[in-house]
Structure 1
Amino acid sequence: MTPTLRTQVAVVGAGPAGATLANFLGMYGVDALLIERSPEIIDYPRAVGMDDESLRSFQAVGLADELIKNMIQNVPLRFFDARNQCFADVRPATREYGWSRRNIFMQPTCEETLRRGLDRFPSVRVLLGHEVVRLEQDGDGVELHVHASGDETLRVRAEYVVGADGGRSTVRELLGVELEGDTHPHKWVVVECDNDPLEAQYTGLHCDPARPYVCVHLPHDFRRWEFMLFPGEDADEMLKTDKVHELLGHHVEDPTRLNIIRARVYTHHSRIARRFTVGRVCLVGDAAHLMPPWAGQGMNTGIRDVTNVAWKIAAAVRQHADPGILATYDTERRPHAQAMIDLSTTLGRILSPTNRLVATARDLFFRAVVRAPVMRDWVLQMRFKPMPQYTDGVVVPDGHGRRSPVGRMFIQPLVENAEGDVLRLDDVLGPWFALVGFGADPAEHLSGAQRDYLIPLGATFVKVVDSRAGLARRATVHPRTQVVEDLEGHLREWFTRHSTRFVVIRPDRYVAATADRAGLGQAVDRLRRLLRPPGTGTEKEES
């Protein structure tokens, strides 16, 4: 008989998105099964850029400090024109989310850390060398048919399934979800060596029409080159040693002295799944969207997906939310994923033309742009990167439209707790919902019934006071409330700018609601109805 494994959540694919999701589920105490077709971590040259939002997610699962041991933080991004002159040196100064915005890593090393992180969670099991071949779902769950080595087969019965199995996603194909968009005509050859010959401690985008290329300084003395291939150049032929040396010969004195460890040809895509959620199955990462590497946002967009869907699945499994909450994953994440694809596609068109007249016009345009202070700041501080704002999902709109902080990621400054420890804010907020008040205790502005609803969920109450506020630190608060000092004044500035006293923060650190003293209870009630709409059969249980 075919054995059946039962789990609350099955995650298909153990790349960065899948392994991160499994860590989140383990942290939330959810029974999870991680299924990966490959028995080993794939050693291809893949993602190298990690942004502050991803690091904040890894902070949430307790792995950021371990990951940055093998990461170069705060790396400049330089754009070079057709004459190899730098016309933009991008060095984002912001750390509004608690981490540097541009960080360089190597994906195989990252995946090793993420998989080791799973050892902390007895509720997470891992099946390597197992491939999903069939998927069926009904109103109560999902059944997967899985092949292992040889003739071994098994069934997996899960309440929910997440497809994190890459651009050629089996889960997406079994769901019948189309991947819409374009495949770009040019292929790229990617080469990595482990004895970096250059003194170039930055990421360089070289817009040379003779052959556009990217050059990246990697951790531990590695370096990557990415070269555009032209029509008529055979991909397999260009991976041969003499051809790779020919490509590198224009950039290093003696390419034969390099120890080339990886070389592979890639095709760039700008594609997105028509749906991210089908019943009890969700798609994340490359299974949901593919984009060119120019903005460095492919993997980062997948980590945003995972951070969004993880708490929603956990809420549904723990019966803190109706299963219909999964529909908000598609509502919130799909538009922003499309925006990142559009940005990456546009950057590619700007930076990689092979027509010299077009390249010259582009260079003149960008030199004019960076002379204007406002535009220079927009480019050099990476303000062109579209930030999510969720307006239709698990959010309580405040009527201020695009100026509203609702649906946007909350800041993460340094705070000091009552014991004098300096912490990033998230380390105070905890892993679930948090209610934060500036100069006011959120717990004291809720009814007893509202507190009785929030506390069993694991919600955190935080009162923020000014730095060195003296007696304010010892002010009387509800026993469940933590008091922290606004060490650098960033929280006072945020609350003042948005003219609010309280903020409700979701587990993924997005603002669910803002409120004044009189409106906090109403905001909590509206959020409760979003999580469990009337008519779902749960009202009696909650009352």
Structure 2
Amino acid sequence: MTEPVVHRAQVAVVGAGPVGVTVANYLGLYGVRTLLIDRSEEIVDYPRAVGMDDECLRSFQGVGLADEMLADMIQNVPLKMFAANGHCLADIRPDTKEFGWPRRNIFMQQLAERALREGLTRYPHVRSLLGHELVRLEQDGTEARLHVAGPDGRRVLVHADYVVAADGGRSTVREQLGIPLSGDTHPRKWVVIECDDDPLDAPYTGLHGDPKRPYVCLDLPYNYRRWEFMLFPGEDAEAMLRPEKVHELLSGHVPDPTALHIIRARVYTHHSRVADRFVDGRVCLVGDAAHLMPPWAGQGMNTGIRDATNVAWKLAAVVSGRSHPRILATYDTERREHARAMVKLSDAIGRFLAPTNTTVARARDTLVRGLTVAPPVRSWLVHMRFKPVPRYTEGIMLHGRRPGRRNSPVGRMFVQPRVETADGRVVPLDETLGEWFALIGYGVDPLVHLDPDSRAFWDRIGTRYLTVVESRSGRSRTERRMSATGSVTVEDVDGTLRDWFAAHEGGVAVVRPDRYLAALAAPRDLGAVTDAFERLIAPSSAVESKDAWRSVPVPEGDAS
């Protein structure tokens, strides 16, 4: 037997779907030696995931790919909920751009995956083994070893410091680690049908609670359309994919089903499951390997991209020596509860669709109509405030004296308004923050309030310092207000940051690489905040417990 080909990497990513390749792009950005492994050489050439939210786009912005994604995307797509009689119950059109991007967008997964894979070509330290299948995973206190089979039967051995399992709902990694995927499998199957010659003038996503047969109808880019129909007990799944049955399902929805060019018809079983743990030794589970949910909220891939953005910076911090390996425990703490919340949302929307009893469906419609009469409820629905936005209560953050305070912004994604740079360019805030941590002061230069030891700590972990000033607060276009310390100075174009800081006590925000707010402090407390963060993330082994971040002392002056 020939000796295996040996590869070495700081991080091995198993699975080259959108979540795995997003992890690889971020690791490439952070300078991590990465190996991407996938059993398939090609991208599946038809739409699967089709919904992308603002948080997801912000993640792609972080690796310089958001504009490429938008080039193939329909932005601000309405979501309509229809009653049993076909009347529209709710027309959901979120218009906020709190995080810098439209909240509801429709895309084609295969086009997004091509953009993500093309993005990897920017990083010579990121390599791919496509057409290679993981056979066995071993790990110990020093490394992980991946035994891989190549396309020609060649054996490959990969030595990696850490592994990211992005290998889907039937994850080989998760199964070998023996991690349960707890939850339910739904009894009803659904047929998904797609065509590329859209016959309808319906530029929205429609959730049709028709008790005769609940269905979903989606307008996709480039003249594609998708239908999803519930199957009833006793209907044979394979038989429903025959051309005559597909045409029967579409009859009544399009003028002539036989004239459509059907790209594919497939039957899906939906799952609502979350892995019992997202971290096992040197392995982190992301995406469908960590959680499965029905498609009704359009959050399966989006939740996985949040996983990717969260875990990538922590892995990069560990392998680069910026942080202690204990911070990887916070990936599980921060992401697993939010994944459960997204599963619950998907299940709730599914229950809206599901009734096949006419009386039950009419009662549902009456209830929804009654609730949406109230302006606060209608606003909550129309602006998609029902979607759980992640709020991390434990992890890499300092919550202050009252961590349970609901209006605290700590642990939430930081806003992203437009700012104006010293050379007069108007850009999204993130373009000025750098790749790692950022200290942002409103009308305050953070560097003025850091002693030399504190400054040395933030410098070691690659921090960017930002001073935000009022728009047009200098003498002229050419004589802008500038920091005397070298801190980056930007103008608050539309007052969003002014209002944000006014609403939340504390003049300096500590923003993490994934753009979540890690702390909010008065300038005088930055020294104490620095000491606390040094205990949280520094590479020192002074705090050995992986749960050390649960009890970090918070400075008395922290007003978050």
Shorter-normalised TM range? over 0.9
Deviation digits for residues 188-212 of structure 1, max 9, x if unmatched?
1111111100000000000101100
The secondary structure found in structure 2 opposite 1:70 is coil
- How far the C-alpha of 1:56 sits from its partner, in A, is 0.1
Alpha-carbon distance in structure 2 between the residues aligned to 1:360 and 1:430: 53
- How far the C-alpha of 1:344 sits from its partner, in A, is 0.7
| Residues 473 and 480, structure 2, Cα contact 8 Å, conserved in 1 | no
- Partner residue in 2 for 1:447: 451
Name the Cα RMSD after superposition.
1.3
- Partner residue in 2 for 1:29: 31
- For residue 496 of structure 2, what is the amino acid of its counterpart? H
| Residues 97 and 413, structure 1, Cα contact 8 Å, conserved in 2 | yes
- How far the C-alpha of 1:45 sits from its partner, in A, is 3.8
The secondary structure found in structure 2 opposite 1:39 is coil
- Partner residue in 1 for 2:181: 179
Establish whether residue 115 from structure 1 lines up as the match of residue 109 from structure 2: no
TM-score when scaled to structure 2?
0.94
TM-score when scaled to structure 1?
0.97
Alpha-carbon distance in structure 2 between the residues aligned to 1:453 and 1:170: 40
- For residue 504 of structure 2, what is the amino acid of its counterpart? H
- Partner residue in 1 for 2:349: 347
Long gaps (5+) in structure 2: 545-560
Moved more, 465-474 or 82-91: 465-474
Alpha-carbon distance in structure 2 between the residues aligned to 1:355 and 1:44: 34
- Partner residue in 1 for 2:526: 520
- How far the C-alpha of 1:477 sits from its partner, in A, is 2.3
- How far the C-alpha of 1:454 sits from its partner, in A, is 1.5
Moved more, 395-404 or 309-318: 395-404
- For residue 63 of structure 1, what is the amino acid of its counterpart? L
1:316 to 318, 333, 336: 318
- For residue 62 of structure 1, what is the amino acid of its counterpart? G
Moved more, 527-536 or 420-429: 527-536
- How far the C-alpha of 1:86 sits from its partner, in A, is 0.5
- Partner residue in 1 for 2:466: 462
- Partner residue in 2 for 1:159: 161
Q: Sequence identity, in percent? A: 61
Alpha-carbon distance in structure 1 between the residues aligned to 2:179 and 2:542: 27
| Residues 435 and 459, structure 1, Cα contact 8 Å, conserved in 2 | yes
Classify 1:531/1:478 alpha carbon distance in 2 versus 1 (closer, same or farther; 3 Å).
farther
The secondary structure found in structure 2 opposite 1:519 is helix
The secondary structure found in structure 2 opposite 1:177 is coil
- How far the C-alpha of 1:476 sits from its partner, in A, is 5.3
- How far the C-alpha of 1:139 sits from its partner, in A, is 0.9
- How far the C-alpha of 1:452 sits from its partner, in A, is 1.7
- Partner residue in 2 for 1:87: 89
- How far the C-alpha of 1:471 sits from its partner, in A, is 4.5
Alpha-carbon distance in structure 1 between the residues aligned to 2:486 and 2:292: 44
Q: How many residues align?
A: 538
Deviation digits for residues 472-494 of structure 1, max 9, x if unmatched?
97445254311111101100110
| Within-5 A mapping of 1:484-523 | 484-523=490-529
Alpha-carbon distance in structure 1 between the residues aligned to 2:214 and 2:88: 14
- Partner residue in 2 for 1:541: none
- For residue 309 of structure 1, what is the amino acid of its counterpart? V
- For residue 503 of structure 2, what is the amino acid of its counterpart? R
| Residues 45 and 190, structure 1, Cα contact 8 Å, conserved in 2 | no
1:420 to 424, 431, 456: 424
Deviation digits for residues 411-447 of structure 1, max 9, x if unmatched?
0000001110000000001111000000010111101
| Within-5 A mapping of 1:21-170 | 21-170=23-172
Alpha-carbon distance in structure 2 between the residues aligned to 1:105 and 1:51: 10
Establish whether residue 482 from structure 1 lines up as the match of residue 484 from structure 2: no
- For residue 505 of structure 2, what is the amino acid of its counterpart? S
- For residue 203 of structure 1, what is the amino acid of its counterpart? T
Deviation digits for residues 262-297 of structure 1, max 9, x if unmatched?
211111100000000001100000000000111111
Moved more, 470-479 or 344-353: 470-479
Alpha-carbon distance in structure 2 between the residues aligned to 1:190 and 1:329: 34
Alpha-carbon distance in structure 1 between the residues aligned to 2:471 and 2:193: 50
Long gaps (5+) in structure 1: 539-543
- How far the C-alpha of 1:249 sits from its partner, in A, is 1.2
The secondary structure found in structure 2 opposite 1:520 is helix
The secondary structure found in structure 1 opposite 2:170 is coil
The secondary structure found in structure 2 opposite 1:374 is helix
- For residue 460 of structure 2, what is the amino acid of its counterpart? P
Alpha-carbon distance in structure 2 between the residues aligned to 1:497 and 1:537: 35
Alpha-carbon distance in structure 2 between the residues aligned to 1:325 and 1:471: 46
Establish whether residue 272 from structure 1 lines up as the match of residue 274 from structure 2: yes
- For residue 536 of structure 2, what is the amino acid of its counterpart? L
Alpha-carbon distance in structure 2 between the residues aligned to 1:409 and 1:395: 12
- How far the C-alpha of 1:536 sits from its partner, in A, is 4.5
- How far the C-alpha of 1:357 sits from its partner, in A, is 1.0
Establish whether residue 406 from structure 1 lines up as the match of residue 410 from structure 2: yes
